[in-house]
Amino acid sequence: MTAEELRKQMTEARQALSPEAREAAAQSFTERLCALPEWLRADTVALFLSFGSELDTRSVIETAFSEGKQVLLPICQKDYHMIFSVYTPTTPLITTGMGLEEIAPEAIQEVPPENIDFCLVPGLVFDDTGARIGYGAGFYDRFLPRLSEGTAIIGAGYDCQVIKNSPIPQKDTDVRLPMIVTEQGIYRSTKML
């Protein structure tokens, strides 16, 4: 299958999940993610506000606040450059032309990539080797190489978005993720824990 066909298939799979299944998945995902050693030792966490049928990340953000972590959210710029900015419960948000919620321009407090301990990465399709297909603009593929070597980089999605035992198409510019967390498990390379 092509990347576009896989994007379409996974979007439909996500949209087919019932509200109850989505809520249960978000809770299980949050518990699994926030028990990781990589999360526990992180002070500055780059997260994202879920969009559309994505796995809901709001409980992860709430957990980060309750644990005293500095929360960052992405801001996609028009040159396909992405930055992360400090986010608090009172930070004003705007809705972009793509329908994403982002920090309002007047509230942006950019944090350099080297100061990020933990980066959660959205995607449409993953495989159990860490390959990822995003939405096609390449924001994360450009940003992730700018992180420090010790930063924990973790893909986030429903288990139905992970293709097992069959590599997905990748371009030379695509960044492979060392770990993917779903509501059902943790994928490190080709092993599920």
Q: Is 134 annotated as a binding residue?
A: yes
Share of the chain above pLDDT 70, in %: 97
Q: Is 133 annotated as a binding residue?
A: yes
38: in domain: yes
Alpha carbons 178 and 170: distance in angstroms, whole number: 15
Residue 181 has pLDDT above 90, yes or no: yes
**pTM for the whole structure:** 0.93
56: in domain: yes
Is the sign of the CA dihedral 113, 116, 121, 127 positive or negative? positive
Q: Packing angle between helix 58-66 and helix 19-33, nearest 10 degrees?
A: 30
141: in domain: yes
193: in domain: no
191: in domain: no
Q: Is 140 annotated as a binding residue?
A: yes
Q: Using 50, 70 and 90 to split pLDDT, how confident is the model at 190?
A: low
For residue 143, count CB atoms less than 10 angstroms from its CB and return exposed for 0-12, middle for 13-18, buried for 19 or more.
buried
For residue 52, count CB atoms less than 10 angstroms from its CB and return exposed for 0-12, middle for 13-18, buried for 19 or more.
exposed
Residue with tokens 């492979």, as numbered in its chain: 176
Q: Work out how many domains the chain is built from and give that number.
A: 1
Q: Is 102 annotated as a binding residue?
A: no
116: in domain: yes
CATH of the domain at 101: 3.40.50.10420
Residues 6+ apart with CB under 8 A from 26: 55, 56, 57, 58, 59, 183
Is the sign of the CA dihedral 160, 166, 170, 174 positive or negative? positive
190: in domain: no
Per residue in 78-129, pLDDT (tens digit) is 888 999 999 999 999 999 887 889 999 999 999 999 999 999 999 999 998 8
Q: Is 132 annotated as a binding residue?
A: yes
Which residue range(s) make up the domain with 128? Answer: 3-185
15: in domain: yes
Per residue in 63-73, pLDDT (tens digit) is 999 999 999 99
Helices marked H in 34-163 — which ranges? 37-40, 58-66, 139-143
Q: Is 138 annotated as a binding residue?
A: yes
Residue 131 has pLDDT above 80, yes or no: yes
Q: Is 49 annotated as a binding residue?
A: yes
Alpha carbons 121 and 22: distance in angstroms, whole number: 18
